[in-house]
Structure 1
Amino acid sequence: MALTDLKVRNTKPTDKQQKLFDERGLYLLVTPAGGKWWRLKYRFGGKEKSLSMGVFPDVTLKEARERRDAARKLLANGVDPGIERKVRRAGAAERAANSFEAVAREWFAKYKPGWAKSHADKIMGRLEKDVFPWLGGRPIAEIAAPEVLAVLRRVEARGALDTAHRVHQNCGQVFRYAIATGRAARDVSADLRGALPAASHTHFPSVTEPSEVAELLRAIDGFKGTFVVQCALRLAPLLFVRPGELRTAKWAQFDLDKAQWRYTVSKTKTEHLVPLATQAVVILRELHALTGRWQFVFPGRDPKKPMSGAAVNAALRRMGFDTKTEITGHGFRAMARTILHEHLRFPSEVIEHQLAHKVPDALGTAYNRTKFIYDRIKMMQAWADYLDALKSGAELVPIDTLSRTA
């Protein structure tokens, strides 16, 4: 007799397995542990076989019968339903391995070691928030340009146009990696060039007028916070490195006798050399007496860790400066770049090398830590002297660096 829902539900386990048969090969296997498994008994190629139809109550009697009927249709067409299921599962596993998310995470893992942590976190944050929910499960080879555009439009609609452009860029990188690894034939994101309005980039606020720089420098000298933060503030305009590189500086990287600081640039992973003006060496020697026994030049509350990334900006706000419109720790770089070129007349390529920017030359070298080193040594000392003169209120005129360094 055919099974009923009541019979299936009320059957209790015993110390032996039970088989409750329905119709056309379907039966319920009840285990001593209480499990109830739907099975289909069938013959194919002269052999008796069994195929799982699911577990009760997740799969009801009605659903089990529907699965049985689908399997019997395959048998009628000369297809073994057990083999067909294995093929289908293998295909699903392959599609999952070649999904956009799987390829993106593989690409990310490959290139992450060469990125700064903050950069890597931003990339994965964008993918997880703005891409994976819609494209993550799709086989990357089957994704079409309109699907990517829909993702970009969602980001644009919330007013994050710059983020939308970055998402577009990251999607292109994933597609090109998929092409290189044989998972896709083309980069469909390339079809979307011009689909988004151009983003208007905003720069870190900075002070670039000499009179305002003088005011800022005098305010730094009057800072009433900790000596460590005060030294970081005094060194920030002298060195104009990236804020994260300044706060994580280690004493082992410095040779104060040679007036040099050598470290690896966080953004490009290239070696960089910062010539130290005499004023910077004086500040560092003072600070070494306090923090020299620690690893970091600017230790935080836990001296085994560097000071907070918010410390310099917080100090600027305490001094009355608006870090959204006037100056930030990063703004010292723009200050130096502008004044060194416009007022001290140093060549832009010398300044760019000191800023640790990639500056391709005629030989194709993207970056050379010792390029223009003698010019950079002179420039760093001239810059420190200029800042001292500004702070003291001296009237300054542009320097003809070309004749001075000839």
Structure 2
Amino acid sequence: MPLTDTAIRNAKPAEKPVRMFDAGGLYLEISPAGGKLWRLKYRFGGKEKRLALGAYPEVGLKEARGKRDDARKLLAADIDPGEHRKAQKEAKLERASNSFEIVAREFFSKNRATWAASHHNKIILRFEKNVFPWIGDRPIAEISAPEILTILRRIESRGAVETAHRTRENIGQVMRYAIATGRAERDPAADLKGALAPIKREHFASITDPAKVGELLRALDAFQGTFIVKSALLLAPLLFVRPGELRKAEWSGFDLGKAEWHYLVTKTKTEQVVPLSSQAVDILKELQPLTGHGQYVFPGRDPQKPMSEAAVNAALRRMGYDTKTEITGHGFRAMARTILHEELHQKPEVIEHQLAHKVPDALGSAYNRTKFLKERRAMMQLWSDYLDKLKAGAEVIRLHPAA
């Protein structure tokens, strides 16, 4: 006879497993310990098989019968319910292992060695805040352009337009990695070009008027902070490298005898050569007795770490400069690029190579660290001599090339 809820509730365990049968092969098995499990007995391919349907009372009589009926439909279609369940479980595991977050973290991990730590951490944080909560557990192959656009619009709506653009680029990188590893067929982020508001580029604050540059240099000379920070401030306009590269400079990269500094460009992972003017060498020689025994030229409070990334800008603010509208540590690059070209008439390609920018040449090379080295060496000395004249208050004579 068909089972009833009352009969199931009142059933007691025995020394051996007890089976209470319903219709269609469904039965409840009661273990000696009192556990009650639903099972389905069926035949497939001439063999008797059993399928677990869950435990009572979590799975009630009505639900157990529904599972039985589903299994019988599969049998009618010549499908083994047990194998079908196994295939579903494997598909679910595969979907979970190919979720967007899993693939993204795998991609980030593989690139960690070639990315700057700050860049890697910034992207991870960006995804954890803006992406993973919404599509992290979605199978990467099923993610659509509208889903990604919803995420980007959410970022854009809070005014972070540039972050929205960078997030689209990062999602595209993950999608292309998924394609390369056989876990997706296309990149839906590519369909969103032009879907976001354009970025309003704001250049780093900089001083490019020679007279005002002279004022700034005199202020740097008069800085009353620590000797290490002051040395970094004095070298910043002479070398005009990226602020992060200056503060992380290591003594092992300097050859003061050859007047050269070799370091790895963080953006391109290529080696850069900075010819050192006599003024730059003098500053470094004066600093060397203080920090030359350690790794970093400009160590922070912890000698094992470089000085804070905020140190130079904080020093500029102490001198009364607004780092949002007047000058930043990064602004020394724009200062050099502008004045070297407009006032000292240096070749743009020589300046760009000294800035460690990618400048494709006729051979297709994106960057050559030794190219124009002789010209760059002369330019760096010319630049330092020019800054000395500005600092001394020499009259600035603007030179304009003939038409």
Runs of 5+ consecutive residues of structure 1 not aligned to the other structure = none
In 2, Cα distance between the equivalents of 1:320 and 1:37? 78
Whether the 8 Å contact between 2:101 and 2:136 is mirrored in structure 1 is yes
Structure 1 residue 64: deviation in Å? 4.0
In 2, Cα distance between the equivalents of 1:143 and 1:76? 35
Percent sequence identity over matched residues? Answer: 63
In 1, Cα distance between the equivalents of 2:359 and 2:324? 29
In 2, Cα distance between the equivalents of 1:17 and 1:242? 78
Whether the 8 Å contact between 1:236 and 1:246 is mirrored in structure 2 is yes
State the secondary structure of the residue aligned to 1:113.
coil
Deviates more, 1:388-397 or 1:16-25: 16-25
State the secondary structure of the residue aligned to 1:366.
coil
Q: Does 1:27 align with 2:19?
A: no
Structure 1 residue 349: deviation in Å? 0.8
Match of 2:3 in 1: 2
Match of 1:194 in 2: 194
State the secondary structure of the residue aligned to 2:336.
helix
Whether the 8 Å contact between 2:264 and 2:271 is mirrored in structure 1 is yes
Return closer, same or farther for 1:260/1:17 CA change in 2, 3 Å cut-off. Answer: farther
TM-score by length of 1: 0.88
Q: Does 1:169 align with 2:177?
A: no
Structure 1 residue 20: deviation in Å? 5.7
Match of 2:377 in 1: 377
In 2, Cα distance between the equivalents of 1:61 and 1:23? 9
Whether the 8 Å contact between 1:3 and 1:22 is mirrored in structure 2 is no
Match of 2:85 in 1: 85
Match of 1:225 in 2: 225
Match of 1:311 in 2: 311
In 1, Cα distance between the equivalents of 2:37 and 2:229? 68
Match of 1:139 in 2: 139
Return closer, same or farther for 1:17/1:258 CA change in 2, 3 Å cut-off. Answer: farther
State the secondary structure of the residue aligned to 1:49.
strand
Runs of 5+ consecutive residues of structure 2 not aligned to the other structure = none
After superposition, give the CA deviation of every residue in 1:334-370 in whole Å (9 maximum; x if it has no partner). 1111111111111111111111111110111111111
In 1, Cα distance between the equivalents of 2:339 and 2:58? 72
After superposition, give the CA deviation of every residue in 1:278-314 in whole Å (9 maximum; x if it has no partner). 1111111111111111111111111111111111111
Return closer, same or farther for 1:6/1:323 CA change in 2, 3 Å cut-off. Answer: farther
State the secondary structure of the residue aligned to 2:273.
strand
Deviates more, 1:243-252 or 1:118-127: 118-127
Deviates more, 1:106-115 or 1:293-302: 106-115
Structure 1 residue 58: deviation in Å? 5.2
Whether the 8 Å contact between 1:37 and 1:53 is mirrored in structure 2 is yes
Structure 1 residue 35: deviation in Å? 6.4
Q: Aligned ranges for residues 236-315 of structure 1 at < 5 Å?
A: 236-315=236-315
State the secondary structure of the residue aligned to 1:114.
coil
Deviates more, 1:369-378 or 1:136-145: 136-145
Task: Give the paired residue count.
Answer: 399
Match of 1:353 in 2: 353
Return closer, same or farther for 1:375/1:83 CA change in 2, 3 Å cut-off. Answer: same
Structure 1 residue 61: deviation in Å? 5.3
Match of 2:113 in 1: 113
Whether the 8 Å contact between 2:343 and 2:400 is mirrored in structure 1 is no
In 2, Cα distance between the equivalents of 1:20 and 1:387? 96
Match of 2:185 in 1: 185
Whether the 8 Å contact between 2:333 and 2:355 is mirrored in structure 1 is yes
Structure 1 residue 70: deviation in Å? 2.4
Structure 1 residue 3: deviation in Å? 6.0
In 2, Cα distance between the equivalents of 1:280 and 1:384? 8
Structure 1 residue 169: deviation in Å? 1.8
